[in-house]
């Protein structure tokens, strides 16, 4: 394993540009964050800091807390709030935009990262909202984005969060908090949609050229670059949906304004990880129709790609758009089955592998088996997993078929199980664990957030002192629900 170079930059050493702001006022509005008073630094991700070569210990400086809480900027930052639109729950919502997020700038390096503050106050796109985030939503995004990264899923990153005493009214009075999150870009499907529906095709082309030049240079500069770009976005989106499904992650609000043009998991709100396996699991109690239920995520991913295709129709002929969209299902299926084979500890490929997986899913659903714990048990021994599934004839028949399927594996049981444990996590961010961290943080105790983060950055390890966090919700959290304000 390559050893990462030591982080060597102080806050003053960081150099910022803002290429997105350079696109002009048609794409964003200039906005200085409104800091939260009396803020404290709650959490810090050293792995995210390594992406910008930030020196160890810089997070201890008061200047860092001032940055994270929105009370100070670093030299060279040009903060802006971005314009975009979006389809929300399948309906065109018109203009949306960064209502509580402000792009501070991008760290100018070989692989630049944009730094964005969430919860930094009102912008021109806040509509009737206050532009603030609260401890509850901020802890959830900080932990979830770092958790998905360590599960190997493309995502925005969270550098640090701060919390203060400013009251913020949601369903109840809560306390303001801020998050510095990072990504190469926060451009989303809705960034293109807003210009399409306003018939502003020149701006749409400018945005497409910007994204291709910076993030999809392999698409080239010829006239077909737009269709190459769109086809790659479709492929990345399909692969992302497969990764969500394999780990049991439900996003909760798969609106087109929440879909990254880079294929990253973006905007953590009422997400949840499947516990008792239910393909119709709805993690967002605001989603009364179940549009974004767990088993509908792959279909919604494709629906969103169709929405992006419509937005790009002034640049790409319909036949090429349709050809790219036609590739979605194959990428999704191929990626998902590859992930399932790894979870099952199967090396080779057979045509009936989908049937083997689907039969297992049916058993897990019928028996209400915990998704994460079943796969972890299967990574130890068939007997452990069979005990979870129920030792009846139907379960035994499936295990006999499974044993036959993996027969001839040259690795041996010990090595096969070790490989399975490397892809079947013991720990995911269960909502009840996030809630435990939230309640402690709201009471002024940030140690639980840190402890949860430490577990989630090594989700395949055992962590015997945190065994409870690998279990379903205890009684007092069993009725916990999350919504679009989470």
Question: Per the structure, how many domains does the chain have?
Answer: 2
116 occurs within a structural domain: yes
Please report which confidence band the pLDDT of residue 486 belongs to, taking 50, 70 and 90 as the band edges: low
* Residue position matching structure tokens 């990345």: 236
Cα 142 from Cα 157, distance rounded (Å): 8
- The pair of structure tokens assigned to 373 is 């714990």
428 occurs within a structural domain: no
Report whether 80 contacts 18 (CB < 8 A): yes
- The pair of structure tokens assigned to 243 is 């990764």
Neighbours of 294 (CB within 10 A): 25
Whether residue 24 is predicted with pLDDT greater than 50 in this model: the reply is: yes
Domain end (from 165, 187, 209)? 187
Whether residue 6 is predicted with pLDDT greater than 60 in this model: the reply is: no
pLDDT tens readout for residues 334-373: 999 999 999 999 999 999 999 999 999 999 999 999 999 9
Please report which confidence band the pLDDT of residue 13 belongs to, taking 50, 70 and 90 as the band edges: very high
Which residues does residue 182 pair with via DSSP β-bridges, in sequence order?
115, 157
pLDDT of residue 19: 96
pLDDT of residue 11: 97
Please report which confidence band the pLDDT of residue 305 belongs to, taking 50, 70 and 90 as the band edges: very high
pLDDT of residue 484: 72
Domain end (from 169, 187, 205)? 187
| 351 among known catalytic residues | no
Report whether 253 contacts 96 (CB < 8 A): no
230 occurs within a structural domain: no
* Structure-derived torsion over alpha carbons of residues 206, 195, 127, 177, reported in degrees to the nearest 10: -40
Report whether 43 contacts 161 (CB < 8 A): yes
Task: Calculate mean pLDDT across residues 67-88.
Answer: 97
115 occurs within a structural domain: yes
pLDDT of residue 479: 81
Cβ-in-10-Å burial (0-12, 13-18, 19+) of 230 comes to: buried
394 occurs within a structural domain: yes
301 occurs within a structural domain: no
pLDDT tens readout for residues 399-457: 999 999 999 899 999 999 999 999 999 999 999 999 999 999 999 999 999 999 999 99
pLDDT of residue 1: 46
Report whether 197 contacts 85 (CB < 8 A): yes
Backbone dihedral angles phi then psi of residue 135, each to the nearest 5 degrees: -55, -45
Question: How far is C-alpha 343 from the chain's CA centre?
Answer: 21
Please report which confidence band the pLDDT of residue 482 belongs to, taking 50, 70 and 90 as the band edges: confident
pLDDT of residue 481: 82
Tell me the three-class secondary structure of the chain, residue by residue. CCCCCCCCECCCCCCEECCCHHHCCCCEEECCCCCCCCCEEEEECHHHHHCCCECCCHHHCHHHHHHHCCCCCCCCCCCEEECCEEEECCEEEEECCCCCEEEEEEECCCCCEEEEEECCCCCCCCCCCCCCEEHHHHHHHHHHHHHHHHCCCCECEEEEEEEEEEEEECCCEEEEEEEEEEECCCCEHHHHHHHHHCCCHHHHHHHHHHHHHHHCHHHCCCCCHHHHHHHHHHHHHHHHHHHHHHHCEECCCCCHHHEECCCCECCCCCCEECCECCCCCCCECCCCCCCCCHHHHHHHHHHHHHHHHHHCCCCCCHHHHHHHHHCHHHHHHHHHHHHHHHHHCCCCCCCCHHHHHHHHHHHHHHHCCEHHHHHHHHCCCHHHHHHHHCCCHHHHHHHHHHHHHCCCCCCCHHHHHHHHHCCCCCCCCCHHHHHHHHHHHHCCCCHHHHHHHHHHCCCCCCCHHHHHHHCCCCHHHCCCCECCCC
Backbone dihedral angles phi then psi of residue 173, each to the nearest 5 degrees: -75, 125
pLDDT of residue 151: 98
Please count the CA atoms within 13 angstroms of the CA of 42 that sit on its side-chain side: 35
Cα 248 from Cα 375, distance rounded (Å): 11
What is the longest distance spanned by two Cα atoms in the chain? 68
pLDDT tens readout for residues 213-268: 999 999 999 999 999 999 999 999 999 999 999 999 999 999 999 999 999 999 99
Cα 257 from Cα 291, distance rounded (Å): 16
Cβ-in-10-Å burial (0-12, 13-18, 19+) of 214 comes to: middle
Residue 413 belongs to domain spanning: 345-421
pLDDT tens readout for residues 146-190: 999 999 999 999 999 999 999 999 889 999 999 999 999 999 999
439 occurs within a structural domain: no
The catalytic position among 25, 53, 98, 257 is: 257
Cα 36 from Cα 33, distance rounded (Å): 9
Report whether 69 contacts 96 (CB < 8 A): no
Q: What is the mean pLDDT of the chain?
A: 96
Question: How far is C-alpha 114 from the chain's CA centre?
Answer: 16
Each residue of 19-32: b (16+ CB within 10 Å) or e?
A: ebbebeeebbbebe
pLDDT of residue 7: 63
- Closest to 10 in 3D by CA, of 40, 43, 66, 49: 49
CA angle 312–101–12, rounded 5-degree value? 110
Q: The pTM is what?
A: 0.96
Domain end (from 379, 404, 421)? 421
381 occurs within a structural domain: yes
pLDDT tens readout for residues 192-204: 999 999 999 999 9
pLDDT of residue 228: 98
């Amino acid at each position: 394993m390559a050893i990462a170079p030591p982080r060597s930059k102080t806050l003053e050493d960081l150099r910022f540009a803002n290429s997105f702001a350079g696109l002009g006022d048609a794409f964003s509005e200039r906005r200085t964050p409104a800091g939260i008073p009396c803020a404290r630094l709650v959490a810090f991700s050293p792995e995210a800091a390594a992406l910008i070569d930030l020196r160890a210990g810089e997070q201890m400086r008061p200047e860092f807390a001032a940055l994270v809480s929105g009370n100070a900027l670093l030299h060279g930052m040009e903060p802006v709030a971005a314009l975009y639109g979006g389809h929300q729950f399948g309906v065109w919502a018109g203009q949306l935009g960064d209502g509580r997020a402000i792009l501070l700038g991008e760290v100018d390096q070989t692989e630049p990262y944009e730094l964005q503050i969430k919860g930094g106050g009102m912008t021109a796109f806040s509509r009737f909202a206050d532009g603030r985030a609260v401890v509850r939503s901020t802890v959830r995004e900080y932990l979830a984005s770092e958790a998905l990264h360590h599960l190997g899923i493309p995502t925005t990153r969270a550098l640090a969060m701060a919390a203060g005493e400013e009251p913020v009214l949601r369903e109840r009075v809560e306390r303001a908090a801020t998050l510095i999150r990072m990504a190469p870009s926060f451009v989303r499907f809705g960034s293109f949609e807003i210009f399409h529906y306003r018939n502003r095709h020149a701006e749409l082309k400018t945005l497409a050229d910007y994204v291709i030049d910076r993030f999809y240079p392999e698409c080239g500069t010829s006239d077909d670059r737009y269709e190459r770009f769109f086809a790659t976005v479709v492929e990345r989106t399909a692969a992302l949906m497969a990764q969500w499904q394999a780990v049991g992650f439900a996003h909760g609000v798969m609106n087109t304004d929440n879909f990254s043009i880079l294929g990253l998991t973006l905007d953590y709100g009422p997400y949840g990880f499947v516990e008792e396996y239910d393909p119709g699991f709805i993690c967002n109690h605001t989603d009364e129709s179940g549009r974004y239920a767990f088993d509908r995520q792959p279909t919604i991913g494709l629906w969103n790609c169709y929405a992006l295709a419509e937005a790009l129709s002034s640049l790409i002929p319909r036949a090429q758009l349709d050809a790219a969209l036609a590739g979605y299902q194959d990428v999704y299926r191929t990626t998902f089955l590859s992930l399932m084979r790894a979870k099952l500890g199967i090396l080779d490929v057979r045509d009936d592998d989908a049937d083997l997986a689907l039969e297992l899913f049916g058993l897990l659903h019928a028996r209400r088996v915990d998704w994460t714990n079943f796969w972890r048990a299967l990574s130890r021994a068939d007997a452990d997993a069979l005990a979870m599934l129920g030792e009846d004839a139907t379960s035994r028949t499936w295990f006999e078929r499974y044993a036959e399927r993996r027969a001839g594996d040259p690795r041996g049981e010990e090595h096969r199980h070790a490989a399975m444990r490397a892809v079947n996590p013991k720990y995911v961010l269960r909502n009840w664990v996030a809630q435990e961290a939230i309640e402690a943080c709201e009471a002024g105790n940030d140690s639980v957030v840190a402890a949860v983060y430490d577990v989630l950055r090594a989700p395949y390890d055992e962590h015997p002192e945190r065994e409870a966090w690998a279990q379903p919700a205890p009684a007092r959290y069993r009725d916990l629900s999350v919504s679009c304000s989470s």
